[in-house]
Amino acid sequence: MRLIATTLLALVTALATAQEYETLFAKGVEYIKEQNFESAAESFEEALPLADGENEKFALHVNLAYSRMMSGYTYKALESYSEAIRLHGYDRNLLFQRAAAYMQAARPDDAIEDCNTIINNNPEDTEAMLMRAEAHMAKGENGKAQKEFIEVMNREPGNLNARLGLAMTYKNEKLYEKASLLIGLLIEEFPGNAALYIARSDIEREEGLFELALIDIDKAIEIDPDNAEYYTLQAILLENCGKKSAAAKSRNKAELLKSRSIR
């Protein structure tokens, strides 16, 4: 009788644990849908000790990594990505996401290593090539980045990120005319892309052409008037032009947009 009672108690405990795990996991998923990523991470963390088996742990770490990344906890996200990869083995998407996290953590060498693994498994993966190019650029290896961007352009002539990335390597090498020419061609092709005007404005700012840079910032704001960062950049340029009153207005606008996004 004592053995039967003990067995029944263990079964009831296991069922309760499994139910609690399912509840916490479902709550975490719901928080993700609501874009409440910090609460999602808390739910997944609470469920971790209750996970039974590698499949449940893998599912938790995948969701936990994403929630942590979206909450701004990059280093903790890296821990979860690494644990998920350890549990599952090779997974292209997880490696790519971890590479992106490594880039955010200013660890380009590790990002390159993950991209190498992806490309070794699929030499046609241009998305991983682009990530690797960005990592080389982050290391100041503009020549390697250029070769990578050009390789992607050869495979996908219309790839906007590869063409813009190549222009940015020229900017880094202070080949401003070459960089501006490339971005100008992109703007003709994609006149509604605010990021292109920001990129050209950055080149003009480095050249000391503040008035031209302001024209491009104004155009970016016209396209995307709710981007707080654009108003901050506009304020910096206005200050460079000695327009302090206008700069203050731009900074106030940036702060207002930031406060709205926090709500």
For position 37, which CATH number holds? 1.25.40.10
CA distance 196 to 160: 10
Question: Residue 10 sits in which domain range?
Answer: 1-89
- pLDDT, position 13: 40
Instruction: Count how many domains the chain has.
Output: 1
Q: Is residue 101 included in any domain, yes or no?
A: no
Query: Which residue is it, tokens 């009153």?
Result: 245
Q: Is residue 23 included in any domain, yes or no?
A: yes
Q: Is residue 70 included in any domain, yes or no?
A: yes
pTM across the whole model: 0.84
**55: burial class by Cβ within 10 Å (0-12, 13-18, 19+)?**
exposed
Question: Do 40 and 68 form a contact (C-beta atoms < 8 A)?
Answer: no
Q: Is residue 193 included in any domain, yes or no?
A: no
- pLDDT, position 1: 52
Q: Is residue 150 included in any domain, yes or no?
A: no
- pLDDT, position 48: 83
CA distance 31 to 101: 21
Question: Do 69 and 89 form a contact (C-beta atoms < 8 A)?
Answer: no
CA distance 117 to 195: 30
Instruction: Give me 253's structure tokens.
Output: 């606008």
- pLDDT, position 25: 87
Parts of the chain with a pLDDT under 50: 3-16, 263
- pLDDT, position 225: 96
Q: Is residue 112 included in any domain, yes or no?
A: no
Task: Tell me the three-class secondary structure of 86-105, residue by residue.
Answer: HHHCCCHHHHHHHHHHHHHC
Q: Is residue 158 included in any domain, yes or no?
A: no
Q: Is residue 106 included in any domain, yes or no?
A: no
- pLDDT, position 148: 97
- pLDDT, position 260: 79
Residue-wise pLDDT for 114-129, tens only, equals 999 999 999 999 999 9
